[in-house]
Structure 1
Amino acid sequence: MNEKIWLSSPHMGGTEQKYIQEAFETNWVAPLGPNVNGFESDLENYLSNQVHVAALSSGTAALHLGLILLGVQQGDEVLCQSMTFSATVNPILYLGATPIFIDSELDTWNMCPIALEAAIQDRIAKGKKPKAIIPVHLYGMPAKMDEIIAIANRYEIPVLEDSAEALGSAYKGQKCGTFGSLAALSFNGNKIITTSGGGALVTKSEVLKEKAIFFATQARDAAPHYQHSEIGYNYRLSNIAAGIGRGQMEVLEQHVDVRRKWNQRYQDFFATIPNVTVLKEPSNDFYSNHWLTAIVLASFEQREALRFEFESQNIETRPLWKPMHLQPVFEMYPFYGTSVAASLFENGLCLPSGSNLTENQWERIFLVLEVFF
C-alpha cells in the first residue's frame, strides 16, 4: 500500500523547537509566558497595527468568548453561516442562544448577503432582533465583507468573523480577521499554521482583549485570594503551544504561497474538464490562502466515484462541509436562503492541499485525476 497522502497535515518550519526549548529552559510550562506574549505580538503585527490578539486554546474558545463579549445570552438569536464546521455554531448553543442559519452565495460559497438581510428583516418583524452575525471565510476564501458589514451597520448588529480557515487571506487588501467587531482564528493541526491545538480572538479594542484574557483565565478577580464575580473558562493557550506558533509565523507566507501554487495547478488541470468547478477568487478584490482546494462535480455520483478512487489509492479527500441546517442536531432551527449550500455539499469535494506535499505525492494525486477524467 502506498504511503497515506493527507488532506492537510501539519507542516513544521524548523524553528519551532527553538521556542519550545526556551520554554523548557526557563520553566515557562504554563498558560502564560514570553511565547504567549510574543505569539500575540506576531499575530498583531501580521494582521494590522490596529488590532489586539488574545491567544486561546482553540478557535471554538475564541468564538465562545467573542459571543460573550458581544453580550449574547440565553434566548438571543445569532445569525450564522450554514456552510461551515459545527464549531462555528456550537458556542451559540453553549450560551443558550438560537442559531439562525444563512445560505451561501455561489461566488465565494460564503454567507449570502441577500439571504442575510432577508433574515434580519424577518427576525425583526417577528420581534427578535439578532444579537450578532457570524460569517465564515470558507476554505480560506474571503466572504463578501463589504456587503455583509454594510448590512450589519445598517441594522446595528455586530459581526463576529470566523476566520479560522483564513489566516493569510485578504479582501480588498485588508487581512481576513480584521473586519468584524471581533474575529476568531484557529491553529488546529490541519490549518495553514498550527500550534498543535489553539486559537485566538482578534479585536480592535485593547479593553476587550484584556476582558477576553480575564474570562479565559477563570475570571479571577484582582484579590490576594481566589475570588470570582463572573463565570470564567480555562481557555488560555500554553507557553509551549505558543512557541510552536511563533515558529510557524515565520513560515506563514511560504505556506500560503505553496497552497496558492497548488490551487493554480488544480485550476489548470480542470480548465479542460467539463462540468467541474474549482473554488477560486471571483475577482482581484479577493485573495485566498487556498487552505483547501475544493471542487464541485457534475453530480453526487461522480463526486463519490472520485472520492472512492482517491481512497483506493490511500489519498485523503473529503466532501464539503455538510450545511448546519441539514445536521440532525441543528435541523430544527430557522434557515434563510435557497439550496446553494445543500447543492455544494451534495456535489463538492476537498482535494489534498498540504504545503508539505512532495512532488512525488502530487504526481500520485494527478495520476488519479488523469485516469478518472
Structure 2
Amino acid sequence: MAAIPLRSSGDTQQRSADNGATAVLVFPSRSLPSKAPRLRLHLSPPSLVGGELAVLSRTLTDGWIAPAGPVPEQFEQAVGEAAGFAHTAAVASGTAALHLGYRVLGVERGDEVWTQSLTFVATIAPAVQMGARPRFLDVSAESWTLDPNLLEDQLQKAATKGRLPRAVVPVDLYGQPCDLDAILAVCGRWGVPVLCDSAEALGARYRDRPVGKGAALAAFSFNGNKIITAGGGGALVSDDPALIARARHLSTQAKETAPHYQHETTGYSYGLSSVLASVGLAQIGALDARVAERRRVFDRYAGALSDLPGLSLMPEPSWARSSRWLSVIQIDPKAFGTTREAVRRALEAAQIESRPVWKPLHMQPAFRGARFHGDGLSGRLFERGLCLPSGSMSAEEQDRVIDVIRGCCKG
C-alpha cells in the first residue's frame, strides 16, 4: 500500500477549531523529517504521537472507512477507560455529543436549559436549536466554572414557581473541572439531570476521579485543537447503558431493526468514521503525558509571569486537577499598565496567537433576551482574560511569549 503523504512540521495544514483558533498539525520528528522551524506560535496546535499512520494504514487495508467496523468500537472502549465511564458512543463532534445528550434527556421545545455564561456557544446551541430556552448563570471566582451557590438559589426560586429546568449543563472550562459534587447535590434535590460539557477537559480530575463522573452524561471533543485529537469527533459517555443505547440509536438515523428502513422517530448521521477513530485510537494512549506537558507549560508561565503587577493566572481549586488545555491569564489594566487587548496585539505582532477568554453567552447577540443571573464576573473575566499558546513547544518558543508579555508591563 502506498504511503499516505503528510506534511512535516515545516508546513501547515489549517483546520477550523472550536475556539476559532487556527489549528496547525505538528508531526514529531521521529515519524517524519522536519523542515524549517515554525515561525508562528499557535494557541493549541495538534501534535501527532507517531503511530497514527500505522493504525490508519491497517484500517484502510482492512477496507474500513465509514462509521462501522472494529476501530470505532475500540476507540469507544479506550475513551470509556480514559474517562472512567462504563458506556461510550463515539460521534462526529463534541457538539453532536451534546445534541444527543439533550435528546436522550428529553429536552423539548419550550423547556429551559441552564448553563454557565462563560463558555463556548456549542454548550447551549443544540438545545436552542431544539426550541429550548437558555438561562445563563455566572461562574465562581474559585474555579471560573458554574457557581453552585448561585445555582442553588435560582433552582429554589424556580421550584417555587414550578418552572425547573429540563437539564443543567456545567462546563469544565479550559480543562478546569467544575465543582460537580456540589452541583449534583443541588440538582438532585429537585430531580434535575446534569449533562457535563467536558469537551475541553479529557484527562482532568475532580476529587481524584475523572471529570464528569457522577453526572447523568458527559460530552467530550476530539477536535483538532484538543489535547487528544482525532482530527474531529466527539463522545457521549454515561454509566447508564440505556442512555447511551438511545444516543447510539439516534446517531445512526434512528433505524429500527427490520429488513427495510423503518423509523419510529428521526435521528442523525452522527457516526464517527473509522478513519478519524483510527487517529483517535493512536492518540489516546498519550493522554496522561499530554496533560502533564500542558501542566508544565502552565507552571512555566506561572513561574515567569507571577511577579508582574496586575497579572494573575487561572486559579485551580484544591479539589481539582486541571488538564490546563489552555493557559489563561488575567490582566488588571491599572496595575499592569496596559490592557489585555494591547497585550494580545503585541503578541500578534510577534507572530504569536492568543485569544480573549470566551465572550459570555448572555452578551452574545444570538441570545439576546435570555435571562442571566450573577454579579457579572463572567464579563469581567472576558474583559481581562487572555488565552496563551499552550501546546507542544520548546522552552525557547515559550520564552518568546513570556518576553512579549513582560515587555508590555508598565506597572
Which TM-score bucket, shorter chain as reference? over 0.9
Q: 1:163 aligns with which of 177, 184, 198?
A: 198
Q: 1:145 aligns with which of 180, 187, 194?
A: 180
Higher mean displacement: 267-276 or 165-174: 267-276
2:308–2:406 CA contact under 8 A, matched in 1: no
Q: TM-score by structure 2 length?
A: 0.88
* Equivalence for 1:256: 291
CA distance in 1, matches of 2:396, 2:310: 28
Whether 1:358 aligns to 2:398 is no
Aligned length: 370
Whether 1:305 aligns to 2:342 is yes
Residues 172-321 of structure 1 aligned to structure 2 (within 5 Å): 172-283=207-318, 285-299=319-333, 302-321=339-358
Runs of 4 or more, structure 1, over 3 Å off, are none
CA apart distance, 1:224: 0.3
CA apart distance, 1:229: 0.7
Residue-by-residue CA offset, 1:178-231 (whole Å, 9 max, x unaligned): 231001000111011111111000111222222111100000010000111111
Q: 2:360 aligns with which of 323, 347, 369?
A: 323
CA apart distance, 1:246: 0.5
1:83–1:341 CA contact under 8 A, matched in 2: yes
The letter of the residue matching 2:389 is P
CA apart distance, 1:371: 2.0
2 and 64 in structure 1: CA distance in 2 versus 1, 3 angstrom threshold:
closer
The letter of the residue matching 2:186 is I
Residue-by-residue CA offset, 1:10-57 (whole Å, 9 max, x unaligned): 111011111111111011111112110111111112222x52110000
Whether 1:73 aligns to 2:104 is no
2:305–2:406 CA contact under 8 A, matched in 1: no
CA distance in 2, matches of 1:206, 1:123: 31
SS at 1:329 equivalent: helix
1:2–1:313 CA contact under 8 A, matched in 2: no
Residue-by-residue CA offset, 1:310-366 (whole Å, 9 max, x unaligned): 000010000000000110011311111111101000111001101x21233122212
CA distance in 1, matches of 2:399, 2:114: 43
Residue-by-residue CA offset, 1:258-304 (whole Å, 9 max, x unaligned): 10001011111222112211013121x21011000001110395101
Q: 2:52 aligns with which of 16, 26, 30?
A: 16
The letter of the residue matching 1:146 is D
1:13–1:250 CA contact under 8 A, matched in 2: no
1:118–1:336 CA contact under 8 A, matched in 2: no
* Equivalence for 1:99: 134
CA distance in 2, matches of 1:207, 1:120: 27
* Equivalence for 1:342: 379
CA distance in 2, matches of 1:372, 1:336: 35
SS at 1:119 equivalent: helix
Q: TM-score by structure 1 length?
A: 0.96
135 and 243 in structure 1: CA distance in 2 versus 1, 3 angstrom threshold:
same
* Equivalence for 1:87: 122
CA apart distance, 1:372: 2.2
* Equivalence for 2:43: 7
CA distance in 2, matches of 1:18, 1:119: 52
* Equivalence for 2:22: none
CA distance in 2, matches of 1:19, 1:180: 33
2:255–2:263 CA contact under 8 A, matched in 1: yes
Residue-by-residue CA offset, 1:84-130 (whole Å, 9 max, x unaligned): 00000101112111111110111110101122112212323333111
The letter of the residue matching 2:170 is P
2:169–2:197 CA contact under 8 A, matched in 1: yes
Q: 2:87 aligns with which of 47, 52, 55?
A: 52
The letter of the residue matching 1:169 is A
The letter of the residue matching 2:324 is H
1:167–1:177 CA contact under 8 A, matched in 2: no
1:316–1:352 CA contact under 8 A, matched in 2: yes
SS at 1:164 equivalent: coil
The letter of the residue matching 1:324 is L
Residue-by-residue CA offset, 1:109-153 (whole Å, 9 max, x unaligned): 010112211221232333311110000010001111121111011
CA apart distance, 1:2: 7.5
SS at 2:182 equivalent: helix
CA distance in 2, matches of 1:242, 1:204: 22
User: Identity over the aligned pairs, expressed in percent?
Assistant: 42
1:51–1:178 CA contact under 8 A, matched in 2: no
CA apart distance, 1:5: 0.5
SS at 1:30 equivalent: coil
SS at 2:115 equivalent: strand
* Equivalence for 2:3: none
SS at 1:227 equivalent: coil
The letter of the residue matching 2:78 is D
Higher mean displacement: 344-353 or 109-118: 109-118
Q: 1:154 aligns with which of 185, 189, 209?
A: 189
Whether 1:110 aligns to 2:150 is no
